[in-house]
C-alpha cells in the first residue's frame, strides 16, 4: 500500500501541443526549434553564457570530462555523498577520484576538506549542490583559482536556485542540470550543459555533435562539415525539448508550489522536531528551490523503523545515496578507501519525504503528524 508517493512527475497539456508542433515543423532530431527555445530560455533568464541540452544530466557531466581533457591518472575531487554519475563521467576518462566527506549536520560536502586532497595531479573539483542548496562557492572558486583547477557544478537538482544571488550552474567553469523525471522540471530523461567559460564554447559545440563542426556549417562558417574532435551524440530529440519547453514556461508555478510544500514541512518541524532528529537549514548564502526535504534520524535502526512506519501509513518515503567511496565499484579499483564518517552516516540515517507538485497541504500535514505519532509510540519495540 502506498497512497502518498514520493514523487509524481509534473505534466501539462501544452507538452502535447508543443510535441505535435515539433512534428509539424518537420524537425524532430536534435538542435531544432524547441531546443533553441530552451537554450534561449536559460540564457535569458539566468544569463548563462551558453547552454547545450543533452539526453541526460549524466551526458552533460560526460561532456565536462571531455571538455576538461580528463585523462588517465588525472585526479578529480568531489563529495562521496552524491549520485553515481558525478564520478562516473570522470572515471570513464581514466581519472582517479578523491572523495570528500559531508558536513557534520549537512549532507553536502565540507569545503574545508578540499585543499587536503589537492596534489600535482588534480585537475578539477566537482561540487554537488545537495538538494539544490548551494555549496560555499566563494570558498571553492578561491581554492580553484589558487591551485589552477577547474570547477564543475553538478547542479542536477538546482534549477532556479542561487548562491548569493548567482544562479547555480552558472558559477563554475562548467555546470550541469538534469531533467530526469525525479527533478523539479523534466522531460522524462534529459539534461543540460552550461558553459560559463567562453573558451569552452566552440569545442562544446563539436563534442555535442559527434565531434563534427556541424554547428559551424549551419552558421555558414564552413562549406562542409567533417570530423574535427572527439565527442558523441549528446543532443536530445526536439520532441523532448518541446516537452521540456512546455514545463519551463510553467517554471514559476511549479517552483512556487514546491517551495510552499517545503516551507510547510520546514515550519512544522521547526516547531516540533523530536529530540535528536534534524531537518534542513539553509546557510545565509543559499536559497531553497523546493527540490527535496529530508529528516536525519539517530541511527539506521530508527531510520528503518520510521520507513516501515510510513509504509504502514501509506506514505512512500525513501533513503538516499549510498556513499560512493564505499561502493562495490570504488572498492574494486581504489588502492585505499578513505574513512568518511559523515557521508556514511547520511547513507544510513537520512530519509527524504514525499515532495511533488501534486502533493496537497493536507497530505503534508498528514505526513508531519504521522511522523510525530511515530516518535510518541515506543517504536524500539516494533
Ligand atoms: C539526477 C542527478 C544526476 C544524473 O542526472 P540524469 O539526468 O539522471 O543523468 C547527477 N547528479 C546528481 C546530483 C543528480 O541528482
Domain spans in the chain, listed from the N-terminal domain onward: 13-249, 251-377
Strand locations in 271-368, DSSP E? 294-296, 350-352
Cα(58) to ligand 1 centroid in Å equals: 6
Q: Cell numbers 570547477 correspond to what residue? A: 151
Q: Which of 7, 56, 57 to mutate to test the pocket of ligand 1 (most atoms within 8 A of CB)?
A: 57
State yes or no: pLDDT of 27 exceeds 90.
yes
Give me the mean pLDDT over the 260-278 stretch.
95
Q: Cα 231–237–242 angle (5° rounding)?
A: 135
Q: Cell numbers 508555478 correspond to what residue? A: 253
- How many CB atoms sit inside 10 A of residue 339's CB? 10
Q: Is 333 exposed, middle or buried (0-12, 13-18, 19+ CB in 10 A)?
A: exposed
Cα(47) to ligand 1 centroid in Å equals: 23
Q: Look at the pTM and tell me if it is higher than 0.95.
A: yes
294-341 confidence digits (pLDDT tens)? 999 999 999 999 999 999 999 999 999 999 999 999 999 998 999 999
State yes or no: pLDDT of 2 exceeds 60.
no
β-strands 191-195, 50-54: how paired? antiparallel
143-181 confidence digits (pLDDT tens)? 999 999 999 999 999 999 999 999 999 999 999 999 999
Check pocket membership of 157 for ligand 1, CB cut-off 6 A: yes
**Rounded distance, CA 277 to CA 176, Å?**
32
pLDDT for the residue numbered 378? 64
Protein residue whose Cα sits closest to atom 5 of ligand 1 = 57
Cα(220) to ligand 1 centroid in Å equals: 35
Q: Cell numbers 566563494 correspond to what residue? A: 138
DSSP 199: G
With cut-offs at 50, 70 and 90, classify the pLDDT of residue 380. Answer: low
Ligand 1 atom nearest 130 alpha carbon:
13
134-144 confidence digits (pLDDT tens)? 999 999 999 99
With cut-offs at 50, 70 and 90, classify the pLDDT of residue 3. Answer: confident
Cα(372) to ligand 1 centroid in Å equals: 32
Q: Cell numbers 570530462 correspond to what residue? A: 65
Protein residue whose Cα sits closest to atom 14 of ligand 1 = 156
pLDDT for the residue numbered 1? 45
Give me the mean pLDDT over the 3-21 stretch.
97
* 228 closest CA partner among 252, 206, 208: 206
Check pocket membership of 57 for ligand 1, CB cut-off 6 A: yes
**DSSP states along 259-299:** HHHHHHHHHHHHHHPPTT-B-----TTB---S---EEE-SS
State yes or no: pLDDT of 360 exceeds 90.
yes
232-258 confidence digits (pLDDT tens)? 999 999 999 999 999 999 999 999 999
Check pocket membership of 213 for ligand 1, CB cut-off 6 A: no
**Rounded distance, CA 83 to CA 131, Å?**
12
pLDDT for the residue numbered 96? 96
Check pocket membership of 287 for ligand 1, CB cut-off 6 A: no
Whether domain 251-377 has CATH 3.90.1150.10: the reply is yes
Q: Is 343 exposed, middle or buried (0-12, 13-18, 19+ CB in 10 A)?
A: buried
Q: Which of 83, 102, 126, 161 to mutate to test the pocket of ligand 1 (most atoms within 8 A of CB)?
A: 83
Q: Is there a common fold for 13-249 and 251-377?
A: no
Q: What is the CATH number of domain 13-249?
A: 3.40.640.10
90-118 confidence digits (pLDDT tens)? 999 999 999 999 999 999 999 999 999 99
With cut-offs at 50, 70 and 90, classify the pLDDT of residue 49. Answer: very high
Grid cell, residue 40, equals 534561449
CB neighbour list of residue 298: distance below 8 Å, 6 or more residues apart: 276, 277, 349
Check pocket membership of 178 for ligand 1, CB cut-off 6 A: yes
With cut-offs at 50, 70 and 90, classify the pLDDT of residue 275. Answer: confident
61-85 confidence digits (pLDDT tens)? 999 999 999 999 999 999 999 999 9
With cut-offs at 50, 70 and 90, classify the pLDDT of residue 379. Answer: low
Amino acid at each position: 500500500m502506498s497512497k502518498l508517493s514520493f514523487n509524481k512527475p509534473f505534466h501539462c497539456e501544452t507538452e502535447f501541443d508543443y510535441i505535435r508542433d515539433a512534428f509539424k515543423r518537420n524537425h524532430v532530431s536534435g538542435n531544432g526549434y524547441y531546443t533553441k527555445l530552451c537554450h534561449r530560455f536559460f540564457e535569458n533568464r539566468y544569463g548563462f553564457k551558453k547552454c547545450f541540452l543533452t539526453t541526460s544530466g549524466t551526458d552533460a557531466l560526460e561532456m565536462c570530462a571531455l571538455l576538461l581533457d580528463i585523462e588517465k591518472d588525472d585526479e578529480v575531487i568531489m563529495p562521496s555523498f552524491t549520485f553515481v554519475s558525478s564520478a562516473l563521467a570522470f572515471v570513464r576518462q581514466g581519472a582517479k577520484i578523491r572523495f570528500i566527506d559531508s558536513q557534520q549536520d549537512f549532507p553536502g560536502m565540507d569545503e574545508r576538506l578540499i585543499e587536503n586532497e589537492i596534489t600535482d595531479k588534480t585537475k578539477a573539483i566537482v561540487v554537488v549542490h545537495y538538494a539544490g542548496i548551494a555549496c560555499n562557492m566563494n570558498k571553492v572558486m578561491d581554492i580553484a583559482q589558487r591551485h589552477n583547477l577547474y570547477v564543475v557544478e553538478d547542479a542536477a537538482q538546482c534549477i532556479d536556485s542561487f548562491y548569493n544571488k548567482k544562479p547555480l550552474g552558472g558559477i563554475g567553469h562548467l555546470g550541469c542540470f538534469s531533467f530526469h523525471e525525479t527533478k523539479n522540471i523534466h522531460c522524462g530523461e534529459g539534461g543540460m550543459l552550461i558553459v560559463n567559460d567562453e573558451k569552452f564554447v566552440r569545442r562544446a559545440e563539436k563534442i555535442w555533435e559527434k565531434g563534427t563542426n556541424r554547428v559551424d556549417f549551419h552558421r555558414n562558417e564552413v562549406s562542409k562539415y567533417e570530423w574535427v574532435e572527439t565527442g558523441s551524440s549528446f543532443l536530445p530529440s526536439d520532441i523532448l525539448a518541446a516537452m521540456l519547453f512546455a514545463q519551463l514556461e510553467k517554471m514559476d508555478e511549479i517552483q512556487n508550489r514546491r517551495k510552499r510544500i517545503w516551507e510547510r514541512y520546514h515550519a512544522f518541524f521547526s516547531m516540533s522536531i523530536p529530540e535528536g532528529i534534524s531537518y534542513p537549514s539553509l546557510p545565509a548564502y543559499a536559497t531553497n528551490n523546493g527540490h527535496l526535504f529530508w529528516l536525519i534520524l539517530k541511527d539506521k535502526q530508527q531510520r528503518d523503523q520510521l520507513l516501515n512506519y510510513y509504509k504502514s501509513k501509506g506514505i512512500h518515503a525513501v533513503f538516499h545515496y549510498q556513499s560512493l567511496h564505499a561502493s562495490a565499484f570504488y572498492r574494486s579499483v581504489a588502492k585505499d578507501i578513505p574513512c568518511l564518517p559523515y557521508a556514511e552516516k547520511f547513507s544510513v540515517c537520512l530519509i527524504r519525504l514525499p515532495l511533488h507538485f501534486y502533493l496537497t497541504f493536507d497530505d503534508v500535514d498528514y505526513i508531519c503528524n504521522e511522523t510525530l505519532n511515530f516518535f510518541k509510540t515506543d517504536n524500539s519495540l516494533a
